[in-house]
Amino acid sequence: MPESTPPTASLPVDILGRGPPLVLLHSFPLDRRMWKHQHSLADIVELFLPDIPGFGGADVPTAPISVEDVADSVARMLDVQNVRDPIVLGGLSMGGYVALAFARKYPERLRGLILADTRAEPDDEPTKVARTKTIALARQHGSAGVVRVMLQKLLGPTTLRTRPHVEAEIEAIGSSQKVAGVIAALEMSRERPDSTPGLADIAVPTLLIVGDEDEISPLACAQTMNAKIRLSELARIPGVGHMSAMEDPESFNRTVRAWLERLL
Ligand code: MLT
- What confidence score (pLDDT) does residue 10 get? 81
Phi, psi of 18 (to 5 degrees): -140, 145
Among 67, 192, 216, 246, the mutation site with the greatest number of ligand 1 atoms within 8 A of its Cβ is 216
Confidence band, pLDDT 50/70/90 cuts, at residue 8 = very low
Helices (H), 106-232: 125-154, 157-162, 164-175, 179-191, 219-228
Dist CA 121 CA 124 (whole Å): 8
Phi, psi of 220 (to 5 degrees): -55, -35
**Residues 115, 96 contacting (CB under 8 angstroms):** yes
- What confidence score (pLDDT) does residue 3 get? 35
Rounded to the nearest whole angstrom, what is the distance from the C-alpha of residue 94 to the centroid of ligand 1?
5
Rounded to the nearest whole angstrom, what is the distance from the C-alpha of residue 192 to the centroid of ligand 1?
12
Tell me the mean pLDDT in the region 192-216: 98
Helices (H), 157-216: 157-162, 164-175, 179-191
- List, for residues 45-68, the tens digit of each pLDDT value: 999 999 999 999 999 999 999 999
The residue whose CA is least distant from atom 1 of ligand 1 is: 28
**Residues 71, 102 contacting (CB under 8 angstroms):** yes
**Whether pTM exceeds 0.85:** yes
- The CATH number of residue 198's host domain is 3.40.50.1820
Q: Give the chain's domain count.
A: 1
Strands ordered across the beta sheet of 206-211: 13-16, 46-50, 21-25, 87-92, 110-116, 206-211, 232-237
Rounded to the nearest whole angstrom, what is the distance from the C-alpha of residue 93 to the centroid of ligand 1?
5
Rounded to the nearest whole angstrom, what is the distance from the C-alpha of residue 158 to the centroid of ligand 1?
19
Q: Which of 235, 95, 213 is nearest to 154 (CA)?
A: 213
Q: Which domain holds residue 210?
A: 3-263
Ligand 1 nearest atom to the CA of residue 93, by list position: 3
Rounded to the nearest whole angstrom, what is the distance from the C-alpha of residue 163 to the centroid of ligand 1?
21
